[in-house]
Amino acid sequence: MSDQAASSSGGRREVWLFVLQRLSAMVLAPLVIVHLVTMVYAIQDGLTAAEILARTKGSYLWGTIYSAFVIAAAVHASIGLRTIIGEMTSLRGIGRDVLAALFAAAILILGFRAVGAVI
């Protein structure tokens, strides 16, 4: 592969990552609003975390909402971290991508464990 072809494919990948991060932000924004409004409403009624979880137990709607939240957060944060690593360190290429992928995996694992408590 020529240097120009490698540069072109790398540039295309960066554009797709940029687009994917913006799309994940579009998904995250309404989900964050739903979460915050729900939490403020629940806390004003004096509910504890245990009481909130007891009310959401078995709710596939909340499970779906929070699953989408976890996936969007993992995509958004890992792409952002990859960009920050590239800007703040000399780490490039596969090393930077592996770190971002590991970060995404950690968010997915921990996030879906939390979703499991909701449903």
Task: State the total domains in the chain.
Answer: 1
- The verdict on residue 2 lying in a domain is no
pLDDT tens, position by position, 47-71: 888 898 888 899 999 999 999 999 9
- Are the C-beta atoms of residues 108 and 74 closer than 8 Å to each other? yes
Domain range spanning residue 69? Answer: 17-118
- The verdict on residue 111 lying in a domain is yes
Please state whether 46 falls in left (phi above 0), alpha (psi between -120 and 50) or beta: left
Question: Cα 69 from chain centroid?
Answer: 7
Predicted model pTM: 0.86
- The verdict on residue 1 lying in a domain is no
- Are the C-beta atoms of residues 77 and 20 closer than 8 Å to each other? no
- The verdict on residue 51 lying in a domain is yes
- The verdict on residue 78 lying in a domain is yes
- The verdict on residue 28 lying in a domain is yes
Work out the pLDDT band at 27, boundaries 50, 70, 90.
Answer: very high
Q: What is the pLDDT of residue 15?
A: 96
- The verdict on residue 25 lying in a domain is yes
> What CATH number does residue 99 fall under?
1.20.1300
- The verdict on residue 39 lying in a domain is yes
